[in-house]
């Protein structure tokens, strides 16, 4: 199959050559912030994770699409990533679950992609320079260069309002009633909660009074995209509820809870995106291999009534906090693991026990 030539241009002027695949926009230009993901599989779950809104994903695994696509693996109603970068995209998927090829999925959802890229070189560059805005496509090189110079990253960007649900909905049946604030919640996360609780998923801008009107037994704070520093109203809502409800936060929810408890956040050089990050539980000494997807992290300075509970063994990043007196805890990584290892799914059971007993156990 003949493919149009394409190029990828970062806003520092670095150029990579490849060819266009997936959806090809008429103007031939796609812009966003480039990040790399090190997972060996799970490309569909990664693509449909709302936490990637505003970003272009470079997959480090060289062959993407080899087992096709199935609606069973969607983490949201459609992909939120602005585009993808691959070394090679498979034209012939082989798996009994496959309902079609990855490229057809990209075309259906109007997601541009570029293949033939030296993703090893790109990853090394992003590790050295940090996540960078840029552009790719089959437009003339000078057009791509100009677009890369005005491309935006995620700093001070509120993508949560783009990905959140607009109407509340319920899942699950018996069990304690919880409100889950949807900052970009994944389907696997909702399923894990619905297996244990009666879940009311509410928009990210729900007020404290609207949340309390459902008479919940607990509050869950989901993952999501963008810069937590841009979400001042959400932090205020959490601060108003932190002494009234047991709380469990994941990823962006962890960052917002920590901010409500006096901490601050900062942008990592190139983020954590993958399925193999080692995390240590400081209370038990247990090591977990975790799935992660975040560009921002928490600094523990200023934390009130809370302590650091987990750290990343690669770089020491805060991976969890606990506030026993407030009945609140959170983790930076993804215990629902779609995709990724299931080492940390016990945390959903810990939340269940917190609602039952009113206390945190060894966290």
Nearest-angstrom CA–CA distance, 70 and 96: 10
Instruction: Output the pLDDT for position 361.
Output: 65
pLDDT tops 80 at residue 157: yes
- The ranges assigned to domains in the chain are 5-150, 160-357
Options 75, 103, 251, 272, the catalytic residue: 251
201 torsion bin: left (phi>0), alpha (psi -120 to 50), beta (else): beta
Nearest-angstrom CA–CA distance, 217 and 295: 31
Domain 5-150, CATH among 3.50.30.20, 3.10.450.50, 3.40.50.300, 3.30.300.30: 3.50.30.20
Nearest-angstrom CA–CA distance, 229 and 218: 24
Specify whether the CB–CB gap between 320 and 331 falls below 8 A.
Answer: yes
What pLDDT band is residue 359 in, cutting at 50, 70 and 90? confident
Beta bridge pairs of residue 323:
328
pLDDT tops 60 at residue 139: yes
Three-state SS at 85? strand
Sign of CA dihedral 346, 351, 355, 361: positive
Three-state SS at 354? helix
Span 266-282, mean pLDDT?
95
Query: 357 CB contacts (<8 Å, ≥6 apart)?
Result: none
Is 167 catalytic? The answer is no
What pLDDT band is residue 360 in, cutting at 50, 70 and 90? confident
Of 16-25, 134-143, 337-346, the least confident: 337-346
Record the pTM: 0.96
What pLDDT band is residue 173 in, cutting at 50, 70 and 90? confident
Span 331-354, mean pLDDT?
93
Element (H, E) at 255: helix 252-260
Element (H, E) at 212: helix 208-212
Of 87-91, 216-220, 340-344, 359-363, the least confident: 359-363
Options 272, 294, 310, 334, the catalytic residue: 334
- Report the chain's mean pLDDT, rounded to a whole number: 95
Span 77-85, mean pLDDT?
95
pLDDT above 90 coverage of the chain, percent: 93
pLDDT tops 80 at residue 2: no
pLDDT tops 80 at residue 363: no
Domain 160-357, CATH among 3.40.50.300, 3.10.28.10, 3.40.50.880, 1.10.630.10: 3.40.50.880
Instruction: Output the pLDDT for position 338.
Output: 87
Query: 128 CB contacts (<8 Å, ≥6 apart)?
Result: none
Span 126-140, mean pLDDT?
96
Element (H, E) at 45: helix 43-47
Is 78 catalytic? The answer is no
Indicate the length of the chain as a whole number: 363
Instruction: Output the pLDDT for position 1.
Output: 63
Nearest-angstrom CA–CA distance, 7 and 12: 14
Options 33, 75, 319, 336, the catalytic residue: 336
Is 277 catalytic? The answer is no
């Amino acid at each position: 199959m003949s493919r149009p030539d394409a190029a990828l241009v970062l806003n520092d002027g670095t150029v990579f050559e490849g060819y266009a695949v997936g959806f090809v926009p008429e103007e031939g230009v796609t812009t966003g912030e480039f990040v790399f993901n090190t997972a060996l599989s799970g490309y569909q779950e990664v693509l449909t994770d709302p936490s990637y809104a505003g970003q272009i994903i470079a997959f480090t695994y060289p062959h993407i699409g080899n087992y096709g696509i199935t609606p069973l693996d969607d983490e949201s109603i459609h992909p939120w990533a602005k585009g993808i970068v691959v070394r090679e995209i498979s034209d012939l998927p082989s798996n009994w679950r496959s309902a079609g090829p990855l490229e057809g999925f990209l075309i259906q959802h109007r997601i541009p992609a570029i293949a033939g890229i030296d993703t090893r070189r790109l990853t090394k560059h992003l590790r050295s320079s940090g996540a960078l805005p840029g552009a790719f496509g089959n437009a003339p090189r000078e057009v791509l260069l100009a677009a890369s110079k005005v491309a935006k990253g995620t700093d001070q960007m509120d993508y949560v309002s783009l990905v959140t649900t607009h109407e509340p909905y319920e899942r699950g049946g018996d069990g304690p009633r919880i409100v889950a604030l949807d900052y970009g919640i994944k389907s696997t996360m909702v399923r894990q909660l619905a297996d244990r609780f009666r879940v009311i998923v509410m928009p990210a801008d729900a007020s404290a009074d609207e949340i309390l009107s459902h008479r919940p037994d607990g509050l869950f704070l989901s993952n999501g995209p963008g810069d937590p520093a841009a979400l001042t109203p959400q932090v205020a809502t959490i601060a108003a509820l932190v002494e009234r409800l047991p709380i469990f936060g994941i990823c962006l929810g962890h960052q917002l809870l920590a901010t409500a408890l006096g901490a601050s956040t900062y942008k990592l050089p190139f983020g954590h995106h993958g399925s193999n990050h080692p995390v240590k539980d400081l209370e038990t000494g247990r090591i977990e291999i975790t799935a992660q997807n975040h560009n921002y992290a928490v600094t523990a300075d200023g934390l009130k009534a809370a302590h650091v509970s987990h750290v990343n063994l690669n770089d020491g990043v805060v991976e969890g906090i606990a506030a026993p007196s407030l009945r609140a805890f959170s983790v930076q990584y993804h215990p629902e693991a779609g995709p990724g290892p299931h080492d940390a799914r016990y945390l959903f059971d810990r939340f269940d026990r917190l609602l039952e007993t009113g206390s945190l156990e060894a966290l």
